[in-house]
Amino acid sequence: MAKTEYIPTDEQALVDAICKGNRSAWEFMTKQYYEPLLYYILSMVKERESAEELIQDVLVNFWVKREQIEITSSLKAYLYRAARNHALNFIRRRNFELDYQKSLQHKLTLHHNDTEEQFHFSELEKKLTDAIENLPDNCREIFKLSRFNNLTYKEIADTLDLPVRTVHYQIGLALKELRQKLKGYVDQQLIS
C-alpha cells in the first residue's frame, strides 16, 4: 500500500494531526520548516554541522513531545522560538566548554618552578581525572571521545551507533557532573 502524503487544510489542522500521531503530517511540517529553521540556527551558531544537529533535535523533540505541546501563537513562531532556545543553550554550553578549556590551558602554562602552584595544578588534574573516571560508563566513553579524541557529536554517534541527541545529552550530563565535582577548584565564573 502506497504511503499517502499529508496535505493540511490549515496550520491548526496540521498541528492537530501531528498531536494525534500522524507521522506524515509531522514529515510535511519538517519539509516545510527544516531549511528556514536551519538557516536561522546557522546564523546563530555559525557551524553548519552543529546547526543541522540542532534543527534535527528541535524537530524530533516536537514529534516526541507532540502530545504535551501547547501552541499559543502560530506553529512557525513556536518552531522558531524552540530553535532559538535550543541554539542559545548550545551556545552557552559551547562557551562554557571553551572557557573551561582556556582555564585548563592557563593552568598548564603556570610556572613549573613554583611548588605550590604545581601542587594545586596536580590536585586539579587528579580531581578532573577522578571526576571523569567516575562518570557512568557510556557517559565517560562519549565524553572522552569528544574531548580527548576531538570527535564531533555526529562522529561519536556513528562510532557508537547512537542517536546524535543521545550524544548531546550524555555530554551535557558529563559537563554538569564535572562542574559539580570541580566546584571550588575551577574559577567560579566557569561553573555558572
Q: What is the mean pLDDT of residues 11-34?
A: 93
Are residues 124 and 66 located together in one domain of the fold? no
Are residues 68 and 129 located together in one domain of the fold? no
Structural domain contains residue 46: yes
Are residues 118 and 186 located together in one domain of the fold? yes
Are residues 61 and 118 located together in one domain of the fold? no
Residue 169's domain spans which residues? 110-191
Structural domain contains residue 1: no
Are residues 69 and 133 located together in one domain of the fold? no
Give the separation between CA 25 and CA 129, rounded to whole angstroms.
48
Are residues 50 and 119 located together in one domain of the fold? no
Are residues 121 and 59 located together in one domain of the fold? no
Are residues 124 and 158 located together in one domain of the fold? yes
Are residues 131 and 77 located together in one domain of the fold? no
pLDDT, one tens digit per residue, over 48-87 is 999 999 999 999 999 999 999 889 889 999 999 999 999 9
Are residues 144 and 185 located together in one domain of the fold? yes
Q: Check: pTM over 0.85? Answer yes or no.
A: no
Structural domain contains residue 5: no
Give the separation between CA 151 and CA 61, rounded to whole angstroms.
24
Sequential DSSP letters for the chain: -PPPPP--SSHHHHHHHHHTT-HHHHHHHHHHHHHHHHHHHHHHH--HHHHHHHHHHHHHHHHHTTTT---SS-HHHHHHHHHHHHHHHHHHHHHHHHHHHHHHHHHHTS-TT-HHHHHHHHHHHHHHHHHHHTS-HHHHHHHHHHHTS---HHHHHHHHT--HHHHHHHHHHHHHHHHHHTBTTB-HHHH-
Structural domain contains residue 138: yes
pLDDT, one tens digit per residue, over 130-185 is 888 888 999 889 888 888 888 888 888 888 899 989 998 998 888 888 888 877 76
The whole-angstrom distance between residue 94's C-alpha and the CA centroid of its chain comes to 9
Whether 127 has a pLDDT exceeding 90, the answer reads: no
Q: Which of 37, 57, 89 is the last residue of a domain?
A: 89
Are residues 130 and 84 located together in one domain of the fold? no
Whether 115 has a pLDDT exceeding 70, the answer reads: no
**pLDDT range class, residue 191, cuts 50, 70, 90:** very low
Residue pair 6/17 in contact (Cβ under 8 Å)? The answer is yes
For 180, the grid coordinates are 559539580
Look at the chain and report how many structural domains it folds into.
2
CATH number, position 32 = 1.10.1740.10
For 78, the grid coordinates are 513556536
Are residues 123 and 64 located together in one domain of the fold? no
Torsion, Cα 123 109 146 46, to 10 degrees, reads: 140
CATH number, position 119 = 1.10.10.10
